[in-house]
Structure 1
Amino acid sequence: MARRFGEYIVYRLVLALFVILGVVTIVFFISRVIPSDPAGLWVGAHPTKEAIEKATEELHLNEPLIKQYFYYLSSLLHGDLGVSIRTHNPVAHDLKSAFTATFELILAAELVAMVVGVILGVYSAVKKDSWLDNLSRVFAISGVSLPTFWFGMILQLVFFKYLGVLPLAGRVDSVVILENPLEIITGFYLLDSLITGNIAIFIDALKHLILPAITLAMYPIGLITRQVRSMMIEVLQENYIRTAWAYGIPPKRVYFKYALKNAIAPALITVGLSFAYTLIGAFLVELIFNWPGLGRYAAYSILSMDYPAILGVTIIAAVTYVFINLFVDLIQVYLDPRIEL
């Protein structure tokens, strides 16, 4: 079994390389055929003819398109994602700080989705066809159906404009971070502030994280709630649950220890798949909340036709998506022995 497991992982990794290569190839050629002036952007405002010619040569823009493609692949094999035309920084450097911001947001959203989705799903199944069940189903369907940008702006109106209890946008208040400088260790503000004992930054970063995390969590909450509810209804009909009731075991223990244990596996798969979805969904949420992550970086790069940065974001998203799907498949095989590799 261990040998087959290893062979399966190698097989999937080889397929992943072809998927990533395909994505890179498509995005590379699309970004090049769209009319733009990368040399002019590289030089900056009021460029001279000599400066543009020099930039064109440095960026290999005077070479045939296919040659530019192989230049990029060669750099990519050496771990070089190129230099951003917009910021003049190495793309890998820009992506490092942007990725940690996005990943912190996604982790917070998935945590909220898992807790809320499981609790709603369990109680919805326990109180089947009651007003609580109907309300939770409406909430789940709304979470899946409502546009993310609309829900995010509604939260901003309610909690910032009318109630004034949570910040509108950003990752941390500029005044707070000036008064309490944060030492960056991992790039995750909540974790770094705890490690360094910077409580002021921790509280402020947590406040800034709440609204975008809830906005991003709405879709997976809907999925997890519906998944847990349907599985819990099935499991609660099993004989061992009836036996547990006969022995007089407390209801909470029956629901959350015995029933949920067997109903949670499909929900875990849903969490894994929704994690990949939220990586892309985070792009729009970051624009709404001015969150300095991959989404905002990608949007600015697209607007300025900064194709090295566009390709860098695409590669990160593709690699993350592929490996999350692989991880979900492996978890599914581990949880359900009936599945064959």
Structure 2
Amino acid sequence: MFQAIIKRLVGALPALFGVIVVTFILTRALPGDPAAYFAGPAGSQEAIEEVRAKLGLDRSLPEQFVLYLRDLARGDWGYSLTTGQPVLTELAERLPASLELTLVGLVLAVIIAIPLGVLAATRPGSWIDHLCRGITTAGVSLPTFFTGLLLAYVFYFLLGWAPSPLGRLDPYTTAPDFVTGFYLIDSLLAGDGETFVAAASQLALPAITLALFVLAPLARMTRASMLGVLSADFIRTARASGLHPFKVLFTYAFRNALLPVLTTLGMVFSFLLGSNVLVEKVFAWPGIGSFAIEALVASDYAPVQGFVLAMALLYVLLNLLIDVAYGLVDPRARLEA
């Protein structure tokens, strides 16, 4: 398994290099002149040229790319012109907020989608099966920004049940001491129940928005995979042998149906990282997605390139975790690796 992980990491290097090349070219192809933006509307042509020289934009594209690769090899991801801070520092400070939102949304989706898919597969044609189909259709059809705005309008503006959708904590609550960067975990470690409740309240609506987005493919795949396994010969044999229905369903059927669900889980997690951008803007969530959008509007190259590279690295690590999970669920996958 360790050798398989090393092979995966080595095999991911060309893909990461391709991401770096494509991101570098596309950011330079964006409309707008960052030198003119940062020189200001009253900046003269001489001031614009001076800013362009400081940013290194007066060099040729191949020369800029070589310098960018050199900086990456040194661990220097550049500086954000909008904040004046290193990109790596900005991403490290904002990444826990994005990961906390993504993981909570994913956990909510798994808790609902997998039992719903199993129940729908064991009772085809029933009301629970129709409910599963309706939820999956709605989840696929509704874009995340619309769902987020709708939830904020109903639960904050109309009903007043949710706090204002403005960040990770309300202005009257102090953030817990930094341990993991996850407010829910840090507040529990500090024994601060009030901060935990405040953080959970702020997290509820954006997490539900993301959960609805990924619930549909998870429930649909669980239902389809369970239907295929439940009609297999070994399941009929297990039932004919007098095994308890619970053991047949979960020990034999669900475990064999879990591999496609794990594959879908890895795919939807990567989708969540991308859809985070819209959800963070709707709920003013201070994550890396909103940071990347602000940099994109300002034609600030380094944060955009750093965001895409960070997403690529997270995707590679996620694939490794899925491969390890394959080996735990199905020993045959471990032996093939």
Q: What TM-score comes out, normalization by structure 1 length? A: 0.88
Q: AA paired with 1:89?
A: Q
The answer to whether the 8 A contact 1:273-1:328 is kept is no
Deviates more, 1:168-177 or 1:110-119: 168-177
1:154-187 deviation digits (Å, cap 9, x = unpaired): 111221112111124133334332xx35212221
Q: Displacement, 1:77?
A: 0.5
Match of 1:232 among 226, 232, 242: 226
Matched, 1:137 2:122: no
CA positional deviation for 1:26: 1.6
Quote the Cα distance in structure 2 between the aligned partners of 1:92 and 1:108. 24
Give yes or no for the alignment of 1:296 onto 2:293: no
**1:146 aligns to what?**
142
Q: How big is each residue's C-alpha offset from its partner over 1:72-108, in whole Å with a ceiling of 9 and x where there is no partner?
A: 1100001110000111110011111221111001100
Equivalence map 1:1-341=2 (5 Å): 6=3, 8-42=4-38, 52-177=48-173, 180-237=174-231, 238-243=235-240, 246=242, 249=244, 255-332=249-326, 335-336=329-330, 340-341=336-337
1:41 Cα deviation after fit:
4.3
How far apart are the structure 1 equivalents of 2:266 and 2:183?
24
- Whole-angstrom CA distance in 2 between matches of 1:335 and 1:254: 16
**2:152·2:205 contact (CA, 8 Å) conserved in 1?**
yes
| Segment of structure 1 superposing worse, 208-217 or 324-333 | 324-333
The answer (yes or no) to whether the contact 2:164–2:170 under 8 Å persists in 1 is: no
Q: Structure 2: which amino acid aligns with 1:328?
A: I
Contact 1:42–1:88 at 8 Å: present in 2 too? Answer: no
Distance (whole Å) between structure 2 residues aligned to residue 181 and residue 153 of structure 1? 26
Cα drift, residue 333 of structure 1: 5.2
**2:193, 2:36 → 1: CA distance?**
45
- Check conservation: 2:169, 2:175, Cα contact below 8 A: no
Q: 1 CA distance for matches of 2:211 and 2:77?
A: 31
Letter aligned with residue 62 of structure 1: D
Q: 1:34, 1:121 → 2: CA distance? A: 43
Amino acid at match of 2:204: I
Once residues 256 and 152 of structure 1 are traced to their aligned partners in structure 2, the CA distance between those partners, rounded to angstroms, is 35
Deviation for aligned residue 1:145: 2.4
The letter of the residue matching 2:317 is F
Deviates more, 1:328-337 or 1:227-236: 328-337
Residue identity matched to 2:90: D
Q: What amino acid maps onto 2:275 in structure 1?
A: G
Q: Could you tell me how far apart the structure 1 residues matched to 2:149 and 2:94 are?
A: 22
Distance 1:212 1:13 in 2: 33
**Mapped partners of 2:257, 2:119: distance in 1:** 13
Question: 1:241 Cα shift?
Answer: 4.4
Q: CA deviation at 1:318?
A: 1.4
Unaligned runs of 5+ in 2: none
Does the CA contact (< 8 Å) of 1:241 and 1:259 recur in 2? no
Post-superposition Cα deviations, 1:111-144, rounded to whole Å, max 9, x if no partner, equal 0111101111121122210122112111112212
- Quick one: distance in 2 between partners of 1:277 and 1:85? 28
For structure 1, the 5+ residue unaligned runs are none
Equivalent position SS for 1:184: coil
Which is worse superposed, 160-169 or 44-53?
44-53
String of CA shifts for 1:303-340, please: whole Å, max 9, x gaps: 00010011010100111123323432453355445554
- Give 1:55 shift: 3.4
Relative to structure 1, is the Cα distance of residues 30 and 265 closer, same or farther in structure 2, using a 3 angstrom cutoff? closer
Distance 1:29 1:235, change over 3 A: closer
Amino acid of the structure 2 residue aligned with 1:57: A
Q: What is the rounded CA distance, in whole Å, between the counterparts of 1:118 and 1:204 in structure 2?
A: 29
Q: Closer, same or farther in 2 for the Cα pair 1:197/1:337, shift >3 Å?
A: closer
- Count of matched residue positions in the alignment of Structure 1 and Structure 2: 332
Please list the CA deviations of residues 214-236 of structure 1 after superposition, one character each: whole Å capped at 9, or x if unmatched: 11112321112112222323333
Task: Give per-residue Cα distances to partners, 1:9-35, cap 9 Å, x unaligned.
Answer: 333323322111111112212222334
State percent identity of aligned pairs.
37
Contact 1:176 1:200 in 2 (8 A): no
2:175, 2:183 within 8 Å by CA — same for their partners in 1? no
- The aligned amino acid for 2:97 is A
Query: What is the rounded CA distance, in whole Å, between the counterparts of 1:9 and 1:175 in structure 2?
Result: 44
Moved more, 47-56 or 146-155: 47-56
